[in-house]
Structure 1
Amino acid sequence: MKLSIIILNYNAAAFLELCIYSVLRATRNIDAEVIVADNNSTDSSLQMLHFVFRDQVQVIAHEENYGFSKGNNLAVAQAKGEFICILNPDTIVGEEVFEECLSFARRPELVEGKAQPQLGFLGTQLIDGTGKFLPESKRHIPTPKVARQKMLGNDRNYYYKEVGQNDRGKVDILVGAFMFCKKEVYEDCGGFDERYFMYGEDIDLSYTALQKGYKNYYLGDQKVIHFKGESTIKDKIYLERFYGAMGLFYEKYFKQSALEKKAIDLMIKGMVAVKPKQKLANKAKELNYLYLVTEDKDLDLPLKIERVKHAEVWDCPFGDSTFLWDIKTLTIQEIIGFMVQTEDLKHRFLSPNRDFYIGSDSSASRGEIKYV
């Protein structure tokens, strides 16, 4: 088998459904398997997998929430593919992304002109639900100095700006929402360090690959929608895990004096204490006018909408309108192409069964699920 796509899910049933649908379309011409590992969700995730994707995906139902690292490691152990892709459930992938990753993995020297570099991990350009580029798609190694600058609002040395947003090139750190590699590379690097429950494990694994002599690459011409935060409530526990992961990373890889360690610990405690006092935008915005973009002339929804074809979307008044995309009759590539050229508009994605739609208007807030 050529490719195994690993999706670790926790309480993200609606987003997971569209993610799997996009993955199945993107692997039509690939000898691939889709493995969904569920971290003991309490929503309808397992029921949805049974009734919607029975016999199309392999489901691993964990008896407890193992966290991101262990949950993925257990799934990868059962993967049969030569290559694997770690994929978040709150993503939607284009039809060509896996074929492009496989093609690049065969000839990475075309980027640098060097003979057969040791390929580590591949990442893509991630965009949020409005089409806006997510800069964490490519990052530098977050040394203690770089991280301190980032926490103080200076991200000049944090994000990898030497490679253009839409270009291909070698980078240091990729994001766990989409990490593609040979399975043997994943195993050689030890997989995700299970001391990280959530957050930081992608930084750790990317850095481990670099230490072992592998090269990590970013494919900026391949775009993946990442709604972000659908499995996460940003409370104090989240903040402790997020900043605690940073502390673990520094303790593991960077020798520190007692004074430096104390300074980092104090900064982490300070960030955990201060952040919960800030208001997080968790409430979805009210949608105004809905434009249903579809090629299905018979599609009828119980919504106040105006129907348009894909070729007509550029004629719509943008303003405060929302585009409702029928992914059953349109390609994800077409939708993404429109999103990145008109970023900051509102978008919703209609499920293939046309019974609900999802979307997000900010990378800092949880997305919206509305049943039709």
Structure 2
Amino acid sequence: MDPVLTVVIVSYNCRDVLLGCLESIRSSRQDVSYEVHLVDNASTDGTPGAVRELHPWVTLTASPENLGFSKGNNLVLRQTTSPFVLLLNPDTLVSDHAFDCSLASLANNPGAGMVSCRLVTADGSLDLACRRSFPTAWDGFCRASGLSSLFPRNSLLARYNMTYLDEFRPAKVDAVNGAYMMVTRRALDTVGLLDEDYFMYMEDMDWCWRFAKAGFEVLYDPGCTIVHLKGQSSRTRSTRMIHAFFDSMELFCIKNTHPRPGFGRFATLAGIRAWKWLTLMRNFLRSDKRVRP
């Protein structure tokens, strides 16, 4: 019998956390029939060999080059025919019946095309990116100025990460995190694949935008919780990663929220750039403090 769900994972030099993710899937209890496809983006840490040895049940594609997130996922999305597809990050730990919960959420909401779950970091705190609004110039200002952190319960100032919502209640949202995105085949066939103009970051936001534009709801369902191990090795992020994130946010603005030149685009891009440079400054200061004796 063909599987109901195809799980797609894209990895790059993250062997240990990936093996933990695959083991969590294998040991979890799920009622739905599923298959797991892994696309490895030319890792140099022995990922393909370790997966072949320890998890031969996984369908592995070892790419000779780093394709990025969108192209890596699209390799599988073009091939799979299952009724549901889950994009899953390699730095996640899957809980019992997580897949079943998400499938039930889609089944109970006929207008939905995508659902995500409650994502928490290693310390159990909510991963704020698991439910978001589409970014605006105002959101960039609130994030850059720190207003969203000072007033997390204010729906005007903390709109982007929606921290004013109860994390344990389901909600219709603008966007969810690419670490866990389950979609229906009907929506996928209508919306199309991930946009390969994005190499890393914001491709998930772009996909959610296109789902909404096509008339499909995007859901946040905290009925299950997944651990997302991002950002645990250090408090700092590399300068390259910060530039990549904000460059992708600018691309999202130009492609979607403000496709035509004008004041709206100018203001939004200005807000994004201010947010980027403040993030770079804070990252530098944190790094500086961390290495001082």
Please report the TM-score for the alignment, with normalisation by the length of structure 1. Answer: 0.68
C-alpha deviations, 1:122-170, integer Å up to 9, x for none? 0101111011111221111212322332222233111224642111221
1:218, distance to aligned residue in structure 2 (A): 0.8
1:252, distance to aligned residue in structure 2 (A): 1.1
Q: Alignment identity in percent?
A: 27
Q: Does the aligned pair in 1 maintain the 2:140–2:271 contact within 8 Å?
A: no
1:277 maps to 2:284: yes
Query: Which of 242, 245, 253 is matched with 1:242 structurally?
Result: 245
Q: Does the aligned pair in 1 maintain the 2:35–2:58 contact within 8 Å?
A: yes
C-alpha deviations, 1:232-285, integer Å up to 9, x for none? 99322211210001111111123365555455555555525535523359x9xx
Report the counterpart of residue 160 of structure 2 in structure 1: 158
C-alpha deviations, 1:205-256, integer Å up to 9, x for none? 1111111111111111210000014899932221121000111111112336
Report the counterpart of residue 16 of structure 1 in structure 2: 18
Q: Does the aligned pair in 1 maintain the 2:86–2:181 contact within 8 Å?
A: yes
Question: What is the SS of the residue equivalent to 1:164?
Answer: coil
Report the counterpart of residue 82 of structure 2 in structure 1: 81
* Greater Rg over alpha carbons, structure: 1
1:50, distance to aligned residue in structure 2 (A): 1.0
Report the counterpart of residue 102 of structure 1 in structure 2: 103
For 1:269 and 1:144, how far apart are their aligned partners in 2? 10
For 1:95 and 1:139, how far apart are their aligned partners in 2? 25
1:35, distance to aligned residue in structure 2 (A): 0.4
For 2:223 and 2:196, how far apart are their aligned partners in 1? 32
Structure 1 stretches of 4+ with a deviation exceeding 6 A read 230-233
Unaligned runs of 5+ in 2: 149-157
For 1:170 and 1:235, how far apart are their aligned partners in 2? 33
1:135 maps to 2:136: no
Q: Does the aligned pair in 1 maintain the 2:94–2:227 contact within 8 Å?
A: yes
For 1:265 and 1:142, how far apart are their aligned partners in 2? 11
Write the letter of the residue equivalent to 1:3.
Answer: L
Distance verdict in 2 for CA 1:242–1:23, change over 3 Å: same
Distance verdict in 2 for CA 1:248–1:123, change over 3 Å: same
Report the counterpart of residue 176 of structure 1 in structure 2: 178
For 2:69 and 2:131, how far apart are their aligned partners in 1? 20
Q: Does the aligned pair in 2 maintain the 1:125–1:218 contact within 8 Å?
A: yes
1:2, distance to aligned residue in structure 2 (A): 0.2
1:199 maps to 2:192: no
1:122 maps to 2:115: yes
Question: What is the SS of the residue equivalent to 1:279?
Answer: helix
Q: Does the aligned pair in 2 maintain the 1:84–1:182 contact within 8 Å?
A: yes
Q: How does 1:41-56 map to 2 (within 5 A)?
A: 41-54=43-56, 56=57
Q: Does the aligned pair in 1 maintain the 2:119–2:226 contact within 8 Å?
A: yes
Distance verdict in 2 for CA 1:142–1:268, change over 3 Å: closer
For 1:199 and 1:209, how far apart are their aligned partners in 2? 17
Q: Does the aligned pair in 2 maintain the 1:8–1:38 contact within 8 Å?
A: yes
For 2:52 and 2:239, how far apart are their aligned partners in 1? 34
Write the letter of the residue equivalent to 1:89.
Answer: P
Question: What is the SS of the residue equivalent to 1:89?
Answer: coil
Write the letter of the residue equivalent to 1:247.
Answer: E
Q: Does the aligned pair in 1 maintain the 2:106–2:113 contact within 8 Å?
A: no
For 1:47 and 1:33, how far apart are their aligned partners in 2? 19
C-alpha deviations, 1:35-56, integer Å up to 9, x for none? 01101111121111011011x1
For 2:185 and 2:194, how far apart are their aligned partners in 1? 13
Please report the TM-score for the alignment, with normalisation by the length of structure 2. Answer: 0.85
1:79, distance to aligned residue in structure 2 (A): 2.2
1:25 maps to 2:32: no
1:149 maps to 2:156: no
Report the counterpart of residue 340 of structure 1 in structure 2: none
Q: Does the aligned pair in 2 maintain the 1:9–1:231 contact within 8 Å?
A: no
For 1:18 and 1:122, how far apart are their aligned partners in 2? 23
Question: What is the SS of the residue equivalent to 1:278?
Answer: helix
The structure where helix makes up a greater share of residues is 2
Q: Does the aligned pair in 1 maintain the 2:137–2:271 contact within 8 Å?
A: no
- Compare relative contact order (CA 8 Å, sep 6+) and give the higher one, 1 or 2: 2
For 1:280 and 1:235, how far apart are their aligned partners in 2? 10
Q: How does 1:219-258 map to 2 (within 5 A)?
A: 219-229=221-231, 234-255=237-258, 257-258=261-262
Question: What is the SS of the residue equivalent to 1:132?
Answer: coil
Distance verdict in 2 for CA 1:17–1:131, change over 3 Å: same
Distance verdict in 2 for CA 1:191–1:229, change over 3 Å: farther
For 1:198 and 1:161, how far apart are their aligned partners in 2? 25
